[in-house]
Chains A and B, each alone.
Chain A
Amino acid sequence: MNVLDTGHGELIQPPDMDAFREWNRTHKSRKLEDKLMDEHEAIARFVTDGSYIGTELYGTVRAPMSLVREVVRQKPKNLRLAAQGALDLDLLLAGGQIDAIEIVYYGLEVYGVSHIFRRAVESGQVKRCVEWSNASFTWRLKAAAMGVPFLPVRSLLGTDTFKYSAAKVVEDPFTGSKVCLVPALVLDVSLIHVHRADRYGNAQIEGINGLAYDYARASKRVILSAEEIIDTDEIRRHPDRTVIPYYLVDAVVHAPYGSHPGETVYSYARDEEAIREWVNAAQTPESTAAYLDSYVYGVPDHAAYLERIGSARLDDLRRKAEAHR
């Protein structure tokens, strides 16, 4: 194939599809095994120094915040990050554990740009950055999920987003026209928050599934946090609802309100006050450190975090979510 142009972004996680097949053969049990464990054990076992990690869905929406706070507490070093969202990424970046970022969208939407991200990039703290778009990123995951080394796509073309990506433009061998190729992205670890899972890792998600379907299939390790742990009979009664089957999953952590201060649709609404508290704290390094001391390092686990937030406030968020049905 005739390569016409090459983005000069770093290929932070070079794809090796035979290695991925071999991994799935040797490291992913087909047995129904109990994977229920606490967050400390899940992160300690599967997130190691240098891991390439991804978090789903999108910052304030069904993001695995309880798992992220545990990653920050355990401080694995030199993590590489697929960055789409913000609240989750902000905590990891503020924890000083990120070495490289593949940037898809890193912002707070209604609250504007992320101060944490700005400081990290503008000061040169994080030097390895690569640009992607939502479509090219999700199709990199899809390529990995398909077990192929790349996919042809029709975005990125003609732009600096391409130039600072690790994609290539080639001549389509069938038609002769230009097409962009994006490399498969196999993540070391995905952290995914779901509505329900059984103890083997069969998982259901309500509402949009965002990137969960592809993340789970593109990852060597999957750590699930679940609002509710359900019986496998419940999974078998509605097999059409299984978005993530057990054999993709390595750990299942019970985490009610696991995406707080963000929302989990139909279960609880965004905690606007708590989101604003973070946005304000993020404005200076000092107030960021104070926030982390209070809400991350200062609590041993998610249960203690929820106690700090208080049940009255959490009940209120649950009531607000009823309006979204």
Chain B
Amino acid sequence: MSEPNKDYSATELMICVAARLMQDGTTAFIGTGIPMLAAALAQKLYTPNLIAVFEFGGTGALLDELPLAVSEARTFHRAIAASGLSDIMEIAQRGFIDYGFIGGAQIDPYGNLNSTVIGSYDSPTTRLPGSGGANDVGSFSWHTIAIMRHDRRRFVPRCDFLTTPGYLTGPGAREDAGLPAGTGPLYVVTTLARLGFDRAASCRMTIDALFPGVTKQEVIDNTGFELLIPDHVPTLDLPTVEELRVLRDEIDPHRLYI
């Protein structure tokens, strides 16, 4: 990576950290919003052969411009294929999607996500959009990576509504429910840290790496449940000058997200 830049926002670093998780030559389901910026950044700087898959039919778009909707023209700009929703979901269900990048309003210790309601279902304080493709991405992708802001309202012991499956109630629960074997959350990228999961044992969320200048205690204070904390937690690299230039000048020049 090129030289670091200390003048950045937490959202920008969150996008950079997510972009660095993208793998060249893999398929990645790209949900609406922040995952689109991360995929565009990765494709421009690190993974030119990242196959971005958009649920309504775009496969392998060149993300020269930021899409504003998961079905709009930019999601299949100079793409490999333009099909439809059933085709993409069938591809996912039969095991062709390596990574799924999604967001959510709440997440619990097992990586279960809520994007349906805050409060009770029957009289919600906030009605959110609903699953869309999120439940399917969380069910079918080999690995799911959630990207979301880090605070106690979002990191909760139990989601008000379990929209999208993480590890559900713990080890073996996904398979017991009938979900495809060998799938589940891999990382959660936040505005404070990169979190992982203790996949070999409890399936609970762990602190995997900290953002520069962020302490373990800050992460703990902003999380509404107990995190697993390894003895040694590495610190992530700062955003590079190049990452920030591409993000600000090429991907989101109108500052819709950053």
Contacts and interface: CB of A to CB of B under 8 A. Distances in A.
A132 B163 CA distance: 10
Contacts of B125: 122
Given A104-B132, A161-B131, A156 B139 contact: yes
A84 B69 CA distance: 12
Nearest to B117: A121
A308 interface: no
Contacts of A269: 73
Interface string B54-89: 011110000000001111111111000011111001
Given A58-B69, A154-B140, A213 B84 contact: yes
Interface string A83-111: 01000000000000000000111110110
B126 interface: yes
Nearest to A212: B84
Given A58-B56, A104-B130, A159 B165 contact: yes
Contacts of A159: 112, 135, 162-165, 168
B131 A178 contact: no
Interface in A196-212: 207-212
A4 to B, nearest CB: 9
B73 to A, nearest CB: 4
Interface stretch (B145-153, B175-183, B187-195): B175-183
Given A109-B70, A207-B73, A134 B133 contact: yes
A208 B165 contact: no
B178 A179 contact: yes
Contacts of A179: 178
Contacts of B128: 107, 113
Contacts of A110: 32-33, 68-69, 256-257
Contacts of B140: 135, 154-155
Nearest to B86: A138
B93 A160 contact: no
A139 B86 contact: yes
A134 B72 contact: no
A155 B71 CA distance: 21
A105 B132 contact: yes
Q: From A117, A142, A263, A265, name the one whose CB has the most chain B CB atoms within 10 angstroms.
A: A265
B69 A214 contact: no
Contacts of B121: 160, 164
Interface in B101-124: 112, 116, 121, 123-124
B71 A61 contact: yes
Nearest to B140: A155
A164 B139 CA distance: 17
B127 interface: yes
A134 B55 contact: yes
B174 interface: yes
B85 A134 contact: yes
Contacts of B84: 208-214
B96 interface: no
B250 interface: no
B82 A133 contact: no
B132 A134 contact: yes
Given A121-B124, A138-B89, A132 B131 contact: yes
A153 interface: yes
A59 interface: yes
A133 B33 CA distance: 18
A51 B81 CA distance: 35
B127 A155 contact: no
Nearest to A180: B178
A297 B77 CA distance: 37
Contacts of A213: 84, 86
B92 interface: yes
B29 to A, nearest CB: 11
Interface in A137-160: 138-139, 141-142, 153-160
A158 B174 contact: yes
B229 interface: no
Contacts of B68: 60, 109-110, 270
16 contacts: A59-B69, A60-B69, A110-B257, A113-B126, A117-B127, A122-B124, A133-B132, A135-B85, A135-B135, A159-B135, A159-B164, A207-B82, A209-B83, A211-B84, A214-B84, A265-B72
Interface of B: 32-33, 55-58, 68-77, 82-86, 89, 92-93, 112, 116, 121, 123-136, 139-140, 161-165, 168, 173-174, 176-180, 256-257
